Amino acid sequence: MDALLKNTQWKGRRGPVLLVIMDGVGYGEYRDGDAVAAADMRHFRALESACPATKLKAHGKAVGLPSDEDMGNSEVGHNAIGCGRVFSQGAKLVGNSIATGAMFEGRVWKDLVANTAASGGALHFIGLFSDGNVHSHLDHLSAMITRAAADGVRRVRVHALLDGRDVSSQSALDYILPFEGFLAGFNAKGFDYRIASGGGRQYITMDRYNANWDMVKRGWDCHVRGIGRRFASAADAVAAYRAENPQLIDQDMREFVVCDAKGPVGTINDGDSVVYFNFRGDRAIEITAAFEDEKFDRFDRGPRPAVFYAGMMQYDGDLGVPKNYLVTPPSIDRTIGEYLVASGVKSMAISETQKYGHVTYFFNGNRTGKFSEALEDYIEIPSDRVPFEQRPWMKCAEITDRVLTAIDSGAYQFIRLNFPNGDMVGHTGVFQSVVCSMESMDIQLGRLAEAIRKAGGVMVISADHGNSDDMLEHDKKTRKAVLDKDGNPKAKTSHSLNPVPCVIYDPECKGEYERSLVEGLGISSLTATCLNLLGFVPPADYDRSVLSMKA
């Protein structure tokens, strides 16, 4: 790759460019339920009012999703920020593949079907059971089941990971009951299609970044071996757990195994086919390893069934995981990381475990590893393994400690960090904790600003999507908070459709660019902005910078 062209009119600052990604922090549409507005964020507010600032789009088409009704998420957000352009992302690619029939004409789908025909086995679908469109969409699952019936697959089993995070926090039955009716239509025609197991996404199966392999083991035992609390149906399971704890949200629900008089109805056995139908990769890699890795040692799998396993997409192109997949992921190239290495720029990426992969793997265009051992340092701060609402400050102070050392060293020209607080605590739905998380993070922004001032650098503050800015369910027509059965405002745990900040703190600015930032752009414009501030001319096909450079 060629080096970037230098801006002959401006060579950058004496200190580093620091990109701060406040994960899940946006500008709320509603005052009530906006934890960002409710928090004492005095350092951020001071910077926002004194510095060039604008709002950026971080959802829908601005990050490559099918429509502007689709929430942004950390994966596509970091893809966009890292590569400076917008690529069609998982949801859109899968939807197109189903609509055109390309998925079902491909080798992998045909092999899945042929395997069950040859063995007399079942076709299993494991994945996030909602229409949140962040990791998966039920429409995709329904389309595959419909096609399986058309292709003569007699037995289908669904292993439902309950959401309550990208959708309403206690909405599981809103999906399960209609879906059981959908399956009943096939059973009336002589098929045997059932929901076989499940549980909350934060309790089983969907771990990421090696944070908690016990989650994956619980999922494996539940889906594959039929080990777990037994119920006559998925609906019965949800009703029972809810009766025992009315405050339990779907993402934390314990495992359930659907059984009849003979026992579990859907264990995964030799000769079966398995589809993990999430299209997003971060929470798919670990369960995939349990199915595919011959040298797997994270937990005792028991007898590993000989199955034909496929992912909805390839979750890691460098590692070739999974071996079989239904839809080809976007090919994201020429990221800012690649360009900076080609240009001899020393950089650092840092976050805690929960978002470490976002500021490295996703930021680098879904690529594992560094572009250069000599020019890049990646630092992971181990996350606490406690519920985030109980420790909402997370590791923002520790992240800041390491960044301050890096700034003081003078070794780096570009540093990127992710503060996970607004997203990870935002997903809990606990308003007090989210406010605390914002105030904890704001203290660190103050520390970073002072270090940047002393070093003569630039700090760009932004986010990958909204979340903590929208913590209550609202009726779109009345604009009032939705109340639960007890008359209390209903907590919202999903991402928002709100814009996110873009603030440029440049204490040694010499008027190289207009103070008013360009409006109406998306977060992909952060890439060209950072390159401008580093003294480079962004690639011609990168989305334009928020800066209007002076001649």
CB 531 within 8 A of CB 24: no
Cis peptide before 246 (omega within 30 of 0): no
Altogether, the residues listed in the chain come to a count of 551
Active site residue 169: no
What's the Cα-to-Cα distance from 75 to each of 46, 59, 90, 465, rounded to whole Å?
30, 11, 10, 10
What's the Cα-to-Cα distance from 404 to each of 18, 399, 417, 448, rounded to whole Å?
11, 9, 12, 7
CB 264 within 8 A of CB 232: no
Written as one string, the DSSP assignment of 83-141 is: HSS----HHHHHHHHHHHTHHHHSHHHHHHHHHHHHHT-PEEEEEE-SS-SSS--HHHH
Say how far apart CA 496 and CA 23 lie, in whole Å. Answer: 12
Say how far apart CA 369 and CA 379 lie, in whole Å. Answer: 12
Say how far apart CA 515 and CA 85 lie, in whole Å. Answer: 24
User: What's the one-letter identity of residue 49?
Assistant: S
Alpha-carbon torsion (476, 481, 486, 490), positive or negative: positive
CB 63 within 8 A of CB 80: yes
Active site residue: 67, 74, 462, 468, which one? 74
Query: Three-class SS of residue 193?
Result: strand
Catalytic residues: 74
